[in-house]
Amino acid sequence: MQTYRLICHPETPALKVRSVDAYVVRNRDNYLHFRWRIKGTGALIVPEFVGPGREDGLWQTTCFELFLGAPDNDSYHEFNFSPSGRWAAYDFTGYREGMAERAMVAPPQTQERRHAHILTFDMQLRASVLPPRPLRLGLTAVIEEEGGVKSYWAIAYPPGAPDFHAPTCFAATLPPPEQT
């Protein structure tokens, strides 16, 4: 399991959230399992569960994001997941260029759990939706708290405003998926 402590962007401080950690867990049965854990959820806004389905604009409230980029070119994939059960998937040919909906043979599976002031969000993604090679990895979160306060969390940032699409945010490597 790979563990990443996400950093709150300094221009978007959180209200009560103390930390956001992200985990990559390699599962059997052709799935990759990702987990985000938020500590300090006293003011957290969590979208109500409405069921699985594709939806744009999830980043406008609390959501979790996964960015995967090819190591040898500028193309990348963006996946967004909401506690509402909604998800989105896109392909890009370059930095914020050539955006197209990514075809998904099987939708991601998500689950949210709360305990005290901790929220855990799990997502399983079928490994076959990923290219069979190492990828540049960005794990991020948009956190909304009471009063419309939004904080942006990532492994790393470029200078300036938060921008999860920037190559700097792809600060880790995801080994090729194990397919059985």
pLDDT for 128 equals: 80
What is the pTM assigned to this prediction?
A: 0.94
CATH-assigned architecture of domain 2-174:
Sandwich (2.60)
d(Cα 152, Cα 11) in Å, to the nearest integer? 9
To the nearest whole percent, how much of the chain has pLDDT over 70?
96
Q: Is the pLDDT of residue 31 over 90?
A: no
Residue 78 φ/ψ region, left for φ over 0, alpha for ψ in the -120 to 50 degree band, beta for the rest: beta
pLDDT, tens only, 159-168: 999 999 999 9
Instruction: Give one word for 85, left, alpha or beta, with left for phi > 0 and alpha for psi -120 to 50.
Output: left
Question: What pLDDT digit, counting tens, does each position of 92-146 carry?
Answer: 999 999 999 999 888 899 999 999 899 999 999 888 877 778 899 999 999 999 9
pLDDT, residue 89, reads: 96
Alpha-carbon dihedral sign for residues 16, 142, 165, 11: negative
Percent of the chain at pLDDT > 90 equals: 79
What is the pLDDT, as a whole number, of residue 180? Answer: 53
- Rounded to 10 degrees, the C-alpha dihedral 60/166/53/23 comes to -100
Do residues 14 and 7 lie in contact, with contact meaning Cβ atoms separated by under 8 Å? no
- Across the chain, mean pLDDT equals 93
- Band of the pLDDT at 27, cuts 50, 70, 90? low
- Bigger pLDDT: 132 or 19? 19
